[in-house]
């Protein structure tokens, strides 16, 4: 496993991180712990959770799983708030949310504490000052953002410099071969302001693994088969893209999973690619899939291949 720095934070994380949104939903406490231990054995050090993941169960299950392994892992959690896609950035909420996450995780310090979504009603300076307090108190090591736009990344960095507070060192965003909207503004902004990029949904909820067929029903028990929220990605045009990308990868002795993961992991500014998994075997495949060092020519060919098939559905998951 490769390890990378998270901007100038002093944090070093595995190039593949484990997202734990399924802890407390698809996975019970025992299954979650088994997966965490398998991840540690595979060299994964970054574990990402959030206060709104299954009413806090994800944090509880992760906290239980890392007991005895705290010095081997980097814990990333997020504060949300008012609803699923809108964080509360007020000072009171940020402080209270951190205390709740620390309690559920059973740890004294969160390594990377992230604002899950922008808050249009709270000045970003108030949020940054609250987060800075947590850093000064030793309850948080570094702070990050998630689902921000390019201008919000820029604004937060300028405000942090002017107010002399801690700055966002990482930004989580949906990014994969089928969803590339972030390349227009958000990714360039992160690179400009030295904010590490942490993509989530790298395999488009499983569509970029090759296990789903265009003319086959989406199987029950899978994210795409059970949840309409995720199934939107399984469009006819996207299946056409998957077919073309599969041919491209196999012609070069690789799988589409290796293409999807390596294509992201090799992009400038990416510190860790966040994956979900429901089994140790699935996790190990994801962790091993970042070894293809794509050439500039191959990347150009991929761009042309996808462009030819159009870009339907190029919207963030939370819109």
**Span 102-130, average pLDDT:** 97
The pLDDT, as a whole number, for residue 273 is: 98
Q: Is the confidence at residue 171, as pLDDT, over 90?
A: yes
Confidence band for 209, pLDDT divided at 50, 70 and 90: confident
| Cα torsion through 140, 146, 152, 156, rounded to 10 | 10
The pLDDT, as a whole number, for residue 310 is: 52
CATH of the domain at 14: 3.20.20.100
Report residue 312 as tokens: 């339907």
Q: Is residue 278 part of a domain?
A: yes
The pLDDT, as a whole number, for residue 237 is: 79
Cα(314)–Cα(295) distance, rounded to whole angstroms?
25
**Span 187-196, average pLDDT:** 98
The pLDDT, as a whole number, for residue 78 is: 97
How would you class 24 by CB atoms within 10 Å of its CB: exposed for 0-12, middle for 13-18, buried for 19 or more?
A: buried
pLDDT in tens, 270-311: 999 999 998 999 999 999 999 999 999 999 999 988 876 555
Q: Is the confidence at residue 205, as pLDDT, over 70?
A: yes
Q: Is residue 295 part of a domain?
A: no
**Span 7-23, average pLDDT:** 96
Nearest to 9 by CA among 38, 46, 36: 46
Nearest to 98 by CA among 66, 141, 61: 141
Q: Is residue 106 part of a domain?
A: yes
Percent of the chain scoring above 90 in pLDDT:
76
How would you class 211 by CB atoms within 10 Å of its CB: exposed for 0-12, middle for 13-18, buried for 19 or more?
A: middle
Percent of the chain scoring above 70 in pLDDT:
89
Confidence band for 319, pLDDT divided at 50, 70 and 90: very low
The pLDDT, as a whole number, for residue 253 is: 96
- The answer to whether the beta carbons of residues 245 and 203 sit under 8 Å apart is no
Domain range enclosing 124:
3-204+264-290
The pLDDT, as a whole number, for residue 145 is: 98
Q: Is the confidence at residue 193, as pLDDT, over 90?
A: yes
Cα(201)–Cα(209) distance, rounded to whole angstroms?
12
Q: Is the confidence at residue 314, as pLDDT, over 90?
A: no
Q: Is residue 311 part of a domain?
A: no
C-alpha distances (whole Å) from 194 to each of 6, 141, 273 are 9, 17, 17
Q: Is residue 40 part of a domain?
A: yes
**Span 222-233, average pLDDT:** 59
Nearest 5°: phi and psi at 184? -75, -45
**Span 226-247, average pLDDT:** 75
**Span 36-54, average pLDDT:** 95
Q: Among this protein's residues, is 53 annotated catalytic?
A: yes
CA atoms within 13 A on the CB side of 137: 14
Q: Is residue 228 part of a domain?
A: no
Confidence band for 164, pLDDT divided at 50, 70 and 90: very high
Nearest to 187 by CA among 207, 171, 200: 171
> Mean pLDDT in the chain?
90
Pairing of the two strands 140-146 and 168-174: parallel
Q: Is residue 229 part of a domain?
A: no
Confidence band for 229, pLDDT divided at 50, 70 and 90: low
**Span 248-258, average pLDDT:** 96
Catalytic residue among 53, 193, 201, 212: 53
Q: Is the confidence at residue 72, as pLDDT, over 60?
A: yes
**Domain total of the chain:** 1
Q: Is residue 296 part of a domain?
A: no
Q: In terms of C-beta distances under 8 Å and separation of at least 24 residues, what long-range contacts does 31-36 make, across chains too?
A: 32/61, 32/62, 32/64, 32/65, 33/61, 33/64, 33/65, 34/280, 35/65, 35/277, 35/278, 35/279, 35/280, 35/283, 36/62, 36/65, 36/66, 36/69
Confidence band for 222, pLDDT divided at 50, 70 and 90: low
Cα(281)–Cα(304) distance, rounded to whole angstroms?
33
The pLDDT, as a whole number, for residue 200 is: 96
Cα(36)–Cα(120) distance, rounded to whole angstroms?
35
**Span 162-185, average pLDDT:** 95
**Span 188-200, average pLDDT:** 98
């Amino acid at each position: 496993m490769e390890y990378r720095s998270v901007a100038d934070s002093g944090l070093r994380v595995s190039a593949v991180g484990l997202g734990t949104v399924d802890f407390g939903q698809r996975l019970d406490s025992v299954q979650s712990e088994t997966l965490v231990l398998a991840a540690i054995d595979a060299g994964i050090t970054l574990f990402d959770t959030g206060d709104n993941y299954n009413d806090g169960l994800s944090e509880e299950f992760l906290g239980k799983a890392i007991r005895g392994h705290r010095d081997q892992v980097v814990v990333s959690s997020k504060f949300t708030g008012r609803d699923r896609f809108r964080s509360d950035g007020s000072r009171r909420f940020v402080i209270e949310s951190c205390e709740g996450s620390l309690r559920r995780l059973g740890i004294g310090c969160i390594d990377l504490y992230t604002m899950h979504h922008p808050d249009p009603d709270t000045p970003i300076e108030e949020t940054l000052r609250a987060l800075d307090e947590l850093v000064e108190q030793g309850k948080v090591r570094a702070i990050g953002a998630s689902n921000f736009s390019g201008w919000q990344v820029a604004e937060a960095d300028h405000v942090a410099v002017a107010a002399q507070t801690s700055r966002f060192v990482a930004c989580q965003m949906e990014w994969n071969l089928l969803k590339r909207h972030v390349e227009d503004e958000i990714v360039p902004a992160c690179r400009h302001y030295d904010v590490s990029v942490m993509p989530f949904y790298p395999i488009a909820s499983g569509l970029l693994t090759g296990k789903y067929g265009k003319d086959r029903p989406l199987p029950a028990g899978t994210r795409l088969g059970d949840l309409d929220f995720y199934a939107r990605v399984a469009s006819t045009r996207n299946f056409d893209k998957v077919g073309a990308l599969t041919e491209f990868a196999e012609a070069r002795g690789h799988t589409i999973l290796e293409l999807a993961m390596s294509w992201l992991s090799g992009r400038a500014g990416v510190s860790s690619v966040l994956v979900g998994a429901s089994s140790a075997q699935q996790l190990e495949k994801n962790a091993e899939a970042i070894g293809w060092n794509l050439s500039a020519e191959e990347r150009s060919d991929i761009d042309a291949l996808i462009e030819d098939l159009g870009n339907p559905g190029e919207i963030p998951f939370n819109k």
